[in-house]
Amino acid sequence: MKKIIVGIFLVGVVLGLAQLGYAVQLTVWSSPDNADAIHELAQNFMNQYPEVSIEVTPLSWEALYPRILQDLTAGVGSFDVTTWDLMTAGAIAPGMLDLEVFAQEHPDLVDPHFDDADFIPTARYVYGYWGEKRIGYPFYGAAMFFYRKDLFADPNLQAQFKAKYGRDLAVPKNWQEAKEVAAFFTKKFNPASPTEYGIALMLPRTHTLFYMFLNFFCF
């Protein structure tokens, strides 16, 4: 089976093949931080469709990309599905199946509940395309910020924030504003904060520090 990147689209493909009477066996490679979630999804899917067997193998970030590239270069076909890092998209794209072309050629294998509009447009492109080729679907984000709408809309918190910083409580537009919001929602700096910490950043001593570098210095 040609390489298919992990995504919702895979559900339709696998289910379609199973309904045709094929015994489907898939090998999934995953980065370690996503393996548990993928394993749970795979287990739920296999419970519903026992004719499908899915084996999830976690690989370290240091091993995953070289293994993918080696497999694609040699044409071995050791995996069917994999997670991949957006930084590697250009290198692996030539060996990946174009999912949009596949969907057009096999509309009967597309999950009828799949809706591409469910994805944030930017995330859908950055985490799914190389040029015009659709090589995957977003599964986890590398450089995104999420915020608590309920807290930002709280009248009491809005009043407290404005009294302290002289401006409305709003989603930060720059790093100075982000620092102020983070301090306001951190109990160490604001004992009245409803949350223990006001921000969570990915700052390990591995290659993932690259994403924070992009956030702090490139945007």
Structural domains of the chain sorted by starting position, each given as residue range(s) with its CATH number in brackets: 9-134 (3.40.190.10), 149-217 (no CATH)
**Residues near 26 by Cβ (< 8 Å), separated by ≥ 6?**
1, 14, 52, 53, 54, 55, 80, 81
Number of Cα atoms under 13 Å in the Cβ half of residue 51: 11
Residues pairing with 133 in the sheet: 130
205 has a pLDDT exceeding 90: no
**55 SS3 class:** strand
b/e burial code for range 198-211 (CB count within 10 A of at least 16 → b): beeeeeeeeeeeeb
Q: What is the mean pLDDT of the chain?
A: 84
Please indicate, yes or no, whether the overall pTM of this predicted structure exceeds 0.85: no
- Give the CB-side neighbour count of residue 143, counting CA atoms within 13 A: 18
Least-confidence region, from 5-19, 101-115, 194-208: 5-19
pLDDT tens digits for 119-178?
888 888 888 999 999 999 988 766 667 899 999 999 999 999 999 999 999 999 888 999
